[in-house]
Amino acid sequence: MSDTREFHKGGETKKLIEVAAMELFAEQGYKGTSVRKIAAKVGIRESALYNHFSNKEAIFLAIAERVFSSPFAQQKTDEFIQEYAKKGKSFLQKFTTEFKLMTFDHNHEKLFRIMLIELMQNEELRGGFWQQFHESNIRFLSSGLFIMMQEGIIRSEDPMTLANVYLGQMFYLRMQVSLLKADKKSTTSLSTAFERQMELFWGMISIK
């Protein structure tokens, strides 16, 4: 028979599987993505998948790991925060720029969608989101803001509440971008919103 099967060595196929699976999970969720769909996207039969992953969940977990190993989980050292926070506005700017960069990154976009879809259905993912996104960012922001208060750069308020407020804004913006992209609509109107909200927030907390 015309069996023109191609062979890939190393972890090449494994990578291709992850890429294909990520795309499908981001569009149809875990349950909506079958191993056959993944295999078809890679260009192999479903049975060949099992040479690289022990089962469907293992594929998902390999991708889920990346969700939080991305920029927004980066742990900043205390020294870094100390140094940067004293500069005041630059601190907020840096955070916002990084957040915006992530938001418009194609790869990260897919990971965000997977997270949103599975957040309510997958306890592990929920735990990861809480610790590695929420708490990590709140810690970063609140300690930075606390230092600014000590330095007399910004108004004295509860740093925790302030951090929550700002992270909430940013998250909602990020979600809006994903919603628009899902409908293949333009996101240009939102691209300046990050800066606008940052300026507004800064104008309200800073002491002139």
User: Rule CB under 8 A: is residue 208 a binding residue for its own copies?
Assistant: no
- Greatest C-alpha distance within the chain: 79
- In angstroms, give the least distance from the CB of 126 to its own copies: 6
The verdict on 200 binding its own copies (CB under 8 A) reads yes
The answer to whether residue 185 forms part of the interface with DNA (CB under 7 A) is: no
The CA distance from 106 to 128, in Å, is 21
Contacted by 77, from its own copies, DNA, none: CB < 5 to 8 Å by type: none
Q: Which of 26, 44, 147, 198 binds DNA (CB under 7 A)?
A: 44
Count, residues near DNA per rule CB under 7 A? 29
Question: What is the distance between the alpha carbons of residues 191 and 188, in angstroms, rounded to a whole number?
Answer: 5
Q: How far is the CB of 15 from its own copies (least distance, A)?
A: 24
57 binds its own copies (CB under 8 A): no
Interaction partner, residue 50 (its own copies, DNA, none; CB < 5-8 Å by kind): DNA
Other beta carbons less than 10 A from residue 172's beta carbon: 10
Say which residues have a Cβ less than 8 Å from residue 181's Cβ, sequence separation at least 6.
109, 187
Contact at 8 Å (CB) between 110 and 171? no
* Residue 162 interacts with which of DNA, its own copies, none, CB < 5 to 8 Å by class: its own copies
**Cα separation values, 208 from 2, 33, 204, Å:** 76, 54, 10
User: Residue for token digits 């992850």?
Assistant: 18
d(CA 105, CA 183): 17
Nearer to DNA by Cβ, of 59 and 85: the residue is 59
Neighbouring CB atoms inside 10 A of 8's CB total 12
Per-residue contact string for residues 1-40; x = within reach of DNA by CB under 7 A: x-xxxxxxxxx-x-------------------xxxxx---
- Cα–Cα dist 163/137, whole Å: 8
Q: Of 8, 51, 172, 186, which lies in the binding site for its own copies, with binding defined by CB under 8 A? A: 172
**DSSP-assigned letter for residue 206:** B
Quote the least distance from Cβ 24 to DNA, whole Å. Answer: 10
Candidates 98, 130, 131, 186; binder of its own copies (CB under 8 A) is 130
Q: Contact residues for DNA (CB under 7 A)?
A: 1, 3-11, 13, 33-37, 43-48, 50-52, 54-57
